[in-house]
Structure 1
């Protein structure tokens, strides 16, 4: 895959054995991380006990659903508290279990999802954890070691480790000089629009629940950074990808990111009553409309230069998030395309499957390219029928939100599959060296996104959060959608 065929920035396509500034989701292709998960993830799954899934009902009304939700929320709490002796104040959640090989990396996208999932739960204890993470996002914004313009970096370190080259990283989220511990070891220094919009959404939803103005003010600063730095004047319009680790503009434009902006700017308009956010929302919405392919019922992935549309591969998240953000019936067919066009079933014993003996999981994959890929990550061949559990949770959430009778039934069926994956995959994994349970793995078997990176069988804050949204029948992309 070359930069000419997808919306990710050029740095996403660096050789897999070179650490360079990367955009969200590309991090999984890094040497060491892939080796760790390829060896550890499948071994953990093989050791997991086989349990039959129980039905999951929206809101956790069935005891199996309530049990699964509690386990998922406990995992989010564990990811927040992974380094209790070193992180005693504001902090971010470690995104993946240690077995992935990214050590204590916390991606702001995942922390934003954790905040939203904890708010969806609604209890006082989970609200307290959501506030700790929200405070962490505010702290990162206010204590960047280089910039003071409202930006967040892609990822941060939240605990000590020794890097692959033998150099120690001894600090937690807050460094001795008071600055946020940015993730320079893996090159997670850039700022992408989607990685800004999701924390903005989380902070606004947290403001709705708490009325703490710090969260609203931080979200406004995020919105101002996006509009000041990424407003595209190219023919396709919308908002470009962001800035790389060298603080250079990245011209790519992502449909997914512009959908995020529609949701975020709509909330900012509601909260601030400033009409400038309506203009920004319309600018993002117009880009999304240009990416719609009515003949096929899907959204193209975006653009590399603001002029030409990228038409291959076609990813899942614009389909699911467009409904959650806009609820526009013109685009609702994208959910039906995603449900059938990206459907996969991972069966134990199939070539390249990493499912434990006797098990299978169904759901959806990342993109059209994932269905036929034969890529390898550190010598391990991907599985074309690997289930992307985060995306399966997204689809279940969107179908439940659309709310037709068949939608609700299909959402529940997808939830049952994610719950089963939660039960049987990812056992024996760790956060900060402590064994954890209850998280949903990123993928049932190693899968290729089609954009030069993969997903693995390791417990993931993002996948777990989307399971919570689906199980509680909430919508994180709408103002009040978590109430």
Structure 2
């Protein structure tokens, strides 16, 4: 249920209008056999991520832009996305850059995450917003994403972008723990612990299957709790609490998040339902989520029986050349296809991972990021936010930092949940 892709709803009309144009951009031909594709994909994605940090002047903290335009490295034309740096994407970039051996570049983004986590504009320690502005981060507190609207002649913010999604907080915590383990600096671990405490304080919900809800959405003067619970978010939290340490402060939260996964697995039988409805109790069966099937397989103590979810993903989400976000199978979700490649590596299916690496090489955009989709538009079956009346969370064919980072992780064989390279 993570919504990281498309900014405010007002931008959706513009995106639909340009989607057909984006689809006409050149798609590179397959340039490698399966046996060499992983190495080529790793080289390309690591080089792109490194260059994106290095092109920002100085050595201070930075956030990376999440989306490029269709034709080159550079911002899109939509104000809500042109300089949007989604927290989730930047957390992934930290971990991927570390896996690529680029610690200095990973640290520049990590410093920005740490600063943002240590002091929110509302004066709350441990809270992260879903989106910040890309570039050098000089202002303190680091402000969340916003933009000047020339039509309305005023400053605008988006209710999702200034909100705090539980899964995004967890991923930022995993990024900070990656840096803590790499550098031995306690401040990164303390930052991750602060984020985990925010989740425990604001998102814990013992009702039904227990676990943690979606977080908070809305503007500072009218925050709205997201009372649904996501399998994806609770998977992220199992990894975060596990990395923070066995027992002690994290024992009960870890048990709650893992208990949610066990309950959802029991409800699904051979797969993980996407989560609950907004009552926090009823299992949602309205749609299926690919990441809900794949991410639990990356956990340190994932039961072997959970591998049935991968077979389910192949049946319900598999399409030619990759995987769809949901089970309507209307196209390839590039980020999720990279996640599947990593899941294949995690369960020892290297040939299947190599096949996906060869397909993913087709998805490198002119600017170096991987496209978010292969089709012009991809449905998810999910809503952008609580005000949505339809399943309006869509992915568009635009170059995406998150997809690029996942491809780097998969090609490098780096498990972001355990902080270790796969055998």
**Partner of 1:237: helix, strand, or coil?**
coil
Q: CA distance change for structure 1 residues 73 and 118 in 2, over 3 Å: closer, same or farther?
A: same
How far apart are the structure 1 equivalents of 2:85 and 2:104? 19
Superposition deviation, residue 107 in structure 1: 0.8
The Cα offsets for residues 30-68 of structure 1, whole Å up to 9 and x where unpaired, read as 3335624752x65455342652331255xxxx3x54333
For 1:50 and 1:88, the matched residues in 2 are separated by 33
- The Cα of 1:279 is off from its aligned counterpart by 2.0
Work out whether residues 259 and 322 of structure 1, in 8 Å CA contact, stay in contact via their aligned partners in 2.
Answer: yes
Q: Does 1:363 align with 2:322?
A: yes
2: CA distance between counterparts of 1:100 and 1:331? 42
Structure 1 residues without counterparts, runs of 5 or longer: 1-7, 9-22, 160-171, 346-361, 372-383, 428-436
* SS of match in other structure, 2:420: coil
| Residues paired across the two proteins, number | 389
Pairing partner for 1:473 from 391, 413, 421 = 413
The answer to whether residue 154 in structure 2 is matched with residue 182 in structure 1 is no
Which residue is equivalent to 2:238? Answer: 262
Partner of 2:48: 75
Q: Within 5 A, what are the aligned runs for 1:186-335?
A: 186-187=158-159, 188-245=161-218, 246-269=222-245, 274-293=247-266, 297-303=270-276, 304-325=278-299, 326-335=301-310
The equivalent residue for 1:99 is: 76
Residues 259-286 of structure 1: per-residue CA shift (max 9 Å, x gap): 111111000015xxx5221221111011
Contact 1:68 1:419 (8 Å CA) reproduced: yes
2:313 paired residue number: 338
- Counterpart CA distance in 2 for 1:482 and 1:132 is 26
| Deviations, residues 195-246 of structure 1 (Å, cap 9, x unaligned) | 1100111111111111111111100101111111111121221011112233
Secondary structure of the corresponding residue to residue 27 of structure 1: coil
Shift of residue 330, structure 1, vs aligned partner: 2.1
* 1:408 equivalenced with 2:382 (yes/no): no
Secondary structure at the residue paired with 1:298? Answer: coil
2: CA distance between counterparts of 1:286 and 1:455?
A: 31
For residue 147 of structure 1, give the secondary structure of its aligned residue in structure 2: coil
Unmatched tracts of structure 2, length 5 or more: 69-74, 147-156, 383-391
1:94–1:105 contact (8 Å) kept in structure 2: yes
- The residue correspondences of 1:138-177 to structure 2 (distance < 5 A) are 138-159=114-135, 173-175=137-139
Contact 2:290 2:313 (C-alpha < 8 Å) held by counterparts = yes
Q: Structure 1, residues 363-407: CA drift from partner, whole Å, max 9, x if none?
A: 100012x43xxxxxxxxxxxx2x200000000110111111xxx2
TM-score, normalising length: structure 2 = 0.85
Question: C-alpha distance in 2, partners of 1:144/1:419?
Answer: 39
Structure-2 separation of matches of 1:462 and 1:32: 20
Q: Could you say if the C-alpha distance between residues 266 and 393 of structure 1 is closer, same or farther in structure 2, counting changes exceeding 3 Å?
A: same
CA distance in 2, matches of 1:291, 1:265: 19
Kept in 1: contact 2:342–2:413 (CA 8 A): yes
Contact map agreement 1:56 1:419 (CA 8 A) in 2: no
